């Protein structure tokens, strides 16, 4: 990425930006291919979720992510460039596409700001044969630790009109700089007098799921695999379209330690949720990954919470599952030539509805490897598929009876500096108008209880269901 000098002269912004885009057009003509132009500027306090709800379009891709506990949030809208990949090497090819785009990018303004410079957003469905979509947004707003940044991106060719493109970018920045928080509620709302959503319907699928777990335990005993993570889906309907704006506001308020997320890919569907699990995070050349396994419900009183946490840490079945996930993750990193480091024992991850065992894993990441190539090696982890991976995936394909689509896939972003955040799409729902499909799974190992695993899936579905209620 080239960082170009960009003047800030009050009253001359259009002329300065036109000059910058003319430089980008000259670079595109010289190279014989389009050049990504990216302009990042500071803005006053702005709420990325409010921007998303006001400005997103159903026929264009968008992405939103917020973690209130870390004071980070961003929203990306529309596509300056977009590509879709399928197959076993889809992450590798997506990474090459992003790297080529960023290598030709020219950045101006203040790209060194938090979330400054060009970003590419990724939404990968669970299965390799399903799509991985990656896009660079036309518009992005972000917040980190009280610093607010707006970025505009454009794919500049030899035919681009610099003055017209400058006017578009400045118009977008002006809307961000003086954002009107009125009328941001864009989704359909339940009709007056409509009864609350019956979330107790989530438990209806427990008997069939428990039977599936019992059959998979027989296959574990026969040595077919060590662990498997079957999932189930539950569909909820109401008379009016689901209010996804309200759902996202509830998710970020009720799950401050999780990643509240929403994305759409231009097909009219919205995926939303609050996931506790990070597939990977890259910051300053260091890779961080989460090994997550085991679930215990939250209690109403501190003493009961402590008892449940102590039980989780002493449960040999859960500890065995956690060790398998951690070692599989570490081995995937070793096969890439990395040297993973992690503590011997897991710790408790405390969330709003549940407790989990967490082992943080870290490794130095050389720049030539890239976050998306690592993601391709890690996905799907034993936490969402099983171990050994191939045997578990084959069994899931023949027994689950539904398409996971983006459930247990991953979504997030990579930037031109090599930093990245990719989340595992858990505690989530796919919303299409008046229909919402919720998903959850549970890790099954020798000693698992079919009834307990079935109840765990209902507990996990509550995150999205209660937000949509």
394 DSSP β-pair partners: none
pLDDT of residue 306: 86
Instruction: Round to whole Å and give the CA distance between 413 and 144.
Output: 15
pLDDT of residue 305: 81
Q: What is the pLDDT of residues 89-110, one digit of tens each?
A: 999 999 999 999 999 899 988 8
What is the band of 10 on the pLDDT scale with cuts at 50, 70, 90?
A: very low
In DSSP notation, 277-312 reads -EEEEEETTEEEEEEEEEEEE--SSHHHHHHHHHHH
Q: What is the reported pLDDT for 119? A: 97
Domains, the chain, with CATH or none: 2-175 (no CATH), 203-262+274-468 (3.60.120.10)
Q: Which residues are tagged catalytic?
A: 227, 277
Does 274 have pLDDT greater than 60?
yes
Q: Minimum mean pLDDT among 67-71, 130-134, 172-176: which range?
A: 172-176
> What proportion of the chain, given as a percentage, has pLDDT over 70?
93
Taking only the tens place, the pLDDT of each residue in 287-334 is 999 888 777 777 777 888 888 888 888 888 888 888 888 998 999 999
pLDDT bracket for residue 183 (50, 70, 90): low
The answer to whether residue 355 scores a pLDDT higher than 50 is yes
* Residue predicted with more confidence, 288 or 1: 288
pLDDT at 67 over 70: yes
CA distances to 116, 147, 158, 174, 311 from 113, in Å: 5, 8, 29, 19, 44
Residue 185 has phi, psi (to 5 degrees) of: -80, 95
pLDDT tens-digit map of 193-248: 454 455 556 778 999 999 999 999 999 999 999 999 999 999 999 899 999 999 99
| Average pLDDT over every residue of 426-437 | 96
Residue with tokens 């264009």: 60
Give me the chain's average pLDDT, please.
90
d(C-alpha 183, C-alpha 141), whole Å: 18
| Distance separating alpha carbons of residues 272 and 323, to the nearest angstrom | 30
Indicate the range of 88-92, 181-185, 200-204, 415-419 predicted with least confidence.
181-185
Eight-state DSSP code of residue 352: S
Q: How confident is the model at residue 191 (pLDDT cuts 50, 70, 90)?
A: very low
Return the residue matching tokens 């428990």. 210
Counting residues of the chain whose pLDDT is more than 90, the rounded percentage is: 69
d(CA 385, CA 337) in angstroms, rounded, equals 23
Mean pLDDT, to the nearest integer, of 396-411?
97
pLDDT at 309: 82
Give residue 349's pLDDT.
Answer: 85
Higher-confidence residue: 53 or 8? 53
As given in the structure block, the two tokens for residue 101 are 């785009």
Per DSSP, the three-state class of 271 is strand
pLDDT at 71 > cutoff 80:
yes
Q: Over 60: is that where the pLDDT of 184 sits?
A: no
pLDDT exceeds cutoff 90 at 264: yes
Whether pLDDT at 9 is above 60: no
* pLDDT average, residue stretch 106-119: 92
Q: What pLDDT sits at residue 354?
A: 75
State how far the Cα of 81 lies from the Cα of 100, in Å rounded to an integer: 12
Q: Is 80 exceeded by the pLDDT of residue 140?
A: yes
């Amino acid at each position: 990425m080239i960082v170009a000098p960009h003047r800030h002269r009050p009253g001359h912004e259009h002329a300065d930006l036109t000059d910058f885009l003319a430089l980008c057009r000259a670079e595109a003509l010289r190279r014989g291919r389009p050049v990504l132009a990216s302009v990042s500027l500071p803005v006053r306090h702005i709420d990325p979720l409010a921007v998303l709800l006001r400005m997103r379009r159903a026929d264009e891709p968008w992405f939103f992510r917020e973690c209130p506990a870390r004071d980070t949030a961003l929203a990306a809208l529309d596509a300056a460039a977009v590509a879709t990949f399928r197959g076993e090497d889809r992450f590798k090819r997506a990474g090459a596409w992003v790297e080529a785009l960023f290598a030709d990018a020219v950045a101006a303004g203040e790209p060194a700001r938090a979330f400054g410079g060009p970003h590419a957003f990724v939404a990968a469905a669970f299965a390799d044969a399903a799509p991985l979509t990656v896009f660079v947004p036309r518009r992005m707003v972000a917040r980190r630790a009280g610093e607010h940044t707006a970025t505009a991106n454009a794919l500049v060719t030899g035919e681009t009109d610099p003055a017209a493109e400058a006017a578009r970018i400045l118009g977008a920045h002006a809307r961000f700089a003086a954002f009107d928080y009125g009328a941001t509620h864009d989704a359909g709302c339940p009709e007056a007098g409509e009864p609350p959503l019956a979330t107790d319907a989530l438990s209806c699928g427990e008997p069939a799921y428990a039977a599936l777990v019992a059959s998979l335990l027989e296959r574990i005993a026969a040595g077919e695999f060590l662990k498997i993570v079957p999932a189930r889906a539950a569909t909820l309907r109401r008379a009016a379209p689901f209010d996804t704006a309200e759902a996202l506001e509830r998710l970020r308020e009720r799950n401050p330690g999780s990643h509240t997320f929403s994305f759409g890919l231009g097909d009219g569907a919205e995926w939303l949720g609050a996931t506790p699990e990070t597939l990977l995070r890259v910051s300053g050349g260091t890779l961080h990954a989460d090994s997550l396994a085991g679930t215990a419900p939250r209690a109403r009183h501190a003493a009961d919470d402590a008892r449940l946490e102590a039980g989780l840490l002493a449960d040999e079945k859960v500890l065995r599952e956690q060790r398998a996930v951690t070692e599989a993750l570490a081995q995937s990193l070793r096969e890439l030539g990395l040297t993973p480091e992690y503590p011997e024992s897991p710790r408790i991850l405390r969330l709003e509805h549940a407790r989990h065992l967490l082992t943080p894993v870290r490794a130095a990441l050389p720049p030539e490897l890239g976050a998306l190539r690592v993601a391709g090696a890690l996905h799907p982890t034993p936490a969402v598929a099983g171990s050994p991976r191939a045997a578990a995936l084959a069994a899931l394909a023949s027994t689950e009876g539904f398409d996971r689509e983006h459930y247990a896939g991953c979504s997030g972003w990579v930037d031109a500096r090599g930093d990245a955040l990719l989340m595992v799409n858990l505690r989530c729902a796919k919303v299409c108008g008046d229909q919402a499909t919720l998903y959850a799974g549970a890790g099954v190992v020798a000693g698992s209880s079919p009834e307990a695993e079935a109840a765990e899936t209902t507990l996990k579905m509550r995150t999205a269901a209660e937000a949509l209620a």
